[in-house]
Amino acid sequence: MIKLNELGDKKFEIVLSKSFDFENLNDFRFFLKKVQKEGGKNLNINFEKVEYIDSSALGMLMLAKHETDMNQCELKLCKIKDGHAKDVLHLVKFNQLFTIQEG
């Protein structure tokens, strides 16, 4: 299960679960819309717990990129650890589309 943290000053963080996949689609979209409604200016997507990512998750990230760009909200993918998720993100060259903070 994923969750949304409000960090104050229009900053938000979506904390992902162990598997970032189709099962998270509705929650992710809901949180993304909530950030937009609140006028979010910074959104971090926290990958600290993520061990698995699928193609639907890549689509969700592209949706987040599109929505945040349209709303002048800075988007970062954070706390990406070595493993499957990091390998997939680099394989599809998301490091060229997103600001990525490893760790």
Instruction: Give tens-digit pLDDT for 20-57.
Output: 999 999 999 999 999 999 999 999 999 999 999 999 99
Residues 67-80: tens digit of each pLDDT:
999 999 999 999 99
- State the residue for tokens 């598997």: 19
Name the nearest CA neighbour of 47 among 28, 19, 66. Answer: 19
pTM confidence score: 0.94
Structural domain boundaries of the chain?
Answer: 3-102
* Stretch 74-89: mean pLDDT: 96
Between helix 55-70 and helix 25-37 the angle, nearest 10°, is 10
What is 3-102's CATH number, 3.40.1160.10, 3.40.630.40, 3.40.50.2300, 3.30.750.24? 3.30.750.24
